[in-house]
Amino acid sequence: MIEMQSRAFWSKVLALSLLLSTVTPTSFSHRTHSKAMANDQIAPTPSSIAPKHTQAERKELFEKISLLSGIPWQYLAAVDQYEKTMNASKKRTIQQPITNFYFSDANWAGKLNPDQQDTNLKSIAFFHGFGKDGSGDRIADRANDLDVLAAMTAILGKNGTKVENLQINLLNYYQNPRSVERIKQFAAIYETLGTLEANAHAFPLPVTADYSYRSTWGDSRGWGGHRSHEGTDLFAGYGVPVRSTCFGIVEIKGWNPYGGWRIGIRDLNNIYHYYAHLSGYQKNIKVNDIVKPGQTIGWVGSSGYGKPGTSGKFPPHLHFGLYRDNGTTEWSYDPYPSLRRWEREDQNKKK
């Protein structure tokens, strides 16, 4: 029965490959046969070879996979995006041109497989590798998007395709609750927006407001013990709107002894945007809400450095921080260059 179900599923996958040939035949038929190139060179990124509407085509790809597999397209897109962020933070090289799913040699061919570059379906299955054939050519090729998608789809749908099953399957695969949480957040963003086009940003204050700031990342801070300043302070009057800088999901909201009334938003690049010292929040905003660039989330204040409600220990300003996540740890980096870029972009829109 299991074998029959597997054959039925892969018949659907093969049918999908025919459907995809009418979408972007040149993109999805890309092959990389040279093992030397796979090992020694960085494969071309989607942006360097794909046509203009790559994101729309990628969404169509995920929707077709969803139609045949029962896995929601937003979860396929979320795993793909999470893999992209991990590839960047861990400097991993992928071979396929469109998707971002990464499989190591050992995971693809099987850890005990003596041929770590194996593409034979039978030997890969014997050594419990993840490699699959999704294109119908009877080989498992990590340079082929359909083969890689087939492998990831098999992992995601192993114990069912309901959301709770997907999250269990993801936990079994990544062995990391943090990874599952990030993918769940990304899926919620994609489901709400209905698009993969979600990379725009905005300056956290209206560029028409009266404000000032400079690079203060790394400066010394004394309250609560000696520490380094993990952000940039933007000085403005009480009540100036504080805006979301990204498409993202509200991850945390509430009081922090250092940051006062603060809010944290996670974007699709797995970057955490931190806003502190607020005087209040936009009405009804709550954890797990999806926000867009320029959306008001609160107002400038001077809260913090004490118990809940403490305010006025310093001039009103917005503390803005950015934090990267590599799947296991998170660290701050200087937000000043990003702020300058977003400020220029918003100013240009006003012209």
pLDDT in tens, the chain (351 residues): 444 444 455 555 555 554 454 444 343 433 333 333 333 333 333 333 344 448 888 899 999 999 989 999 999 999 999 999 999 999 999 988 899 999 999 999 999 999 999 999 999 999 999 999 999 999 999 999 999 999 999 999 998 999 999 999 999 999 999 999 999 999 999 999 999 999 999 999 999 999 999 988 877 665 554 557 778 999 999 999 999 999 999 999 999 998 999 999 999 999 999 999 999 999 999 999 999 999 999 999 999 988 999 999 999 999 999 999 998 999 989 999 999 999 999 999 987
Q: How many Å apart are CA 262 and CA 251, to the nearest integer?
A: 11
104: its two tokens: 């190591």
Q: Kindly list the domain boundaries of the chain, sorted by start residue.
A: 2-193, 211-350
Alpha carbon separation from 66 to 136, 165, 171 (Å, rounded): 19, 15, 20
Q: Which helix (H) or strand (E) holds 266?
A: strand 260-267
Q: Which helix H or strand E contains 336, and what residues bound it?
A: helix 336-350
Q: Are 183 and 82 in contact (CB under 8 A)?
A: yes
Rounded-to-integer distance, Cα 189 and Cα 249, Å: 7
211-350 — its CATH code? 2.70.70.10
Distances (CA, A) of 191 to 25, 146, 196, 246: 27, 23, 10, 16
Closest CA to 99 of 79, 129, 122, 127: 79
- As to burial, measured by CB atoms within 10 angstroms (0-12 exposed, 13-18 middle, 19+ buried), residue 40 is exposed
Contact residues for 302 (Cβ-Cβ < 8 A; gap 6+): 238, 260, 277, 279, 311, 312, 313, 314, 315, 316, 317
3-state class of 280 per DSSP?
A: strand
Residue 65 vs residues 71, 77, 180: alpha-carbon distances, Å: 8, 11, 20
**Closest among 228, 214, 330, 313 to 270, alpha carbons compared:** 330
Give the CA count within 13 Å in the CB-facing half-sphere of 144: 23
**What is the phi/psi pair of residue 78, to 5°?**
-70, -45
Give the count of beta carbons closer than 10 Å to the beta carbon of residue 324: 16
pTM of the predicted protein model: 0.84
